[in-house]
Amino acid sequence: MDALVNKRIKQVLKGDQNAYADIVNLYQHKLYQVCFRMLSNKQEAEDIAQEAFIRAYINLHSYDQNRKFSTWLYRIATNLCIDRIRKKKPDYYLDAEVAGTEGLDMYSQIAADGQLPEEAVEQMELQDRIQYEISRLPDKYRSVIVLKYIEELSLLEISEILDMPLGTVKTRIHRGREALRKQLNNV
């Protein structure tokens, strides 16, 4: 598949806009899914995923063809999602530093502001419930959890996508799992 993608990319670089349609076709579902899981809103997810493809098109000449195209694409999309999330939120989320696992409580308390009543959560369909729980995760854990368990990417790939050391990715996944566990057992 990588060979095909690289061929299409070369065609696009030569000015063949139609070749880009194939690239969009190949990755649209993956990218849309990441955006939706991150943003929990269909309209926003579509906007951001489209924006990601357009940015990739504009900056295609800067893509290094020796690396995996999907990694590059995911990176553009996750950055756009994180930007969007930050614009929507008050900044105390960013300032809250988590030291050790105790910090998790603080995060989940803040996240709990938008919490639904227990009965409402219990009556949710499984799929809605999953998305609800993901949306309650602090965004730095949300991105790693989505990439790891929804997109099923390796830790190494996630560290490339998010441009952070492998150790940081692991820490965030550990804390993300703990945060999710607490969310699920509180109900």
Chain contacts with other proteins (rule: CB under 8 A): 13, 15, 17, 20-21, 24-25, 28-29, 31-33, 36-37, 42, 46, 49-50, 53-54, 57-58, 61, 101, 126-127, 130-131, 133-134, 145, 149-150, 155, 170, 173-174, 177-178, 180-181, 184-185
Query: What are the DSSP E strand ranges found in the chain?
Result: none
Instruction: Determine the Cα–Cα distance for residues 104 and 108; give it in Å rounded to an integer.
Output: 6
Locus of tokens 């099923």: 152
Instruction: Determine the Cα–Cα distance for residues 60 and 23; give it in Å rounded to an integer.
Output: 12
Side-chain-facing half-sphere of 130: CA atoms under 13 Å: 8
| 66 vs 127, beta carbon nearer other proteins | 127
Which 3 state secondary structure label does DSSP give 41? coil
Cα 43 to Cα 48, 50, 78, 159, distances in angstroms: 9, 11, 16, 28
| Least gap, CB of 59 to other proteins (angstroms) | 12
| Least gap, CB of 32 to other proteins (angstroms) | 4
| Least gap, CB of 70 to other proteins (angstroms) | 15
| 1 vs 126, beta carbon nearer other proteins | 126
| Least gap, CB of 29 to other proteins (angstroms) | 5
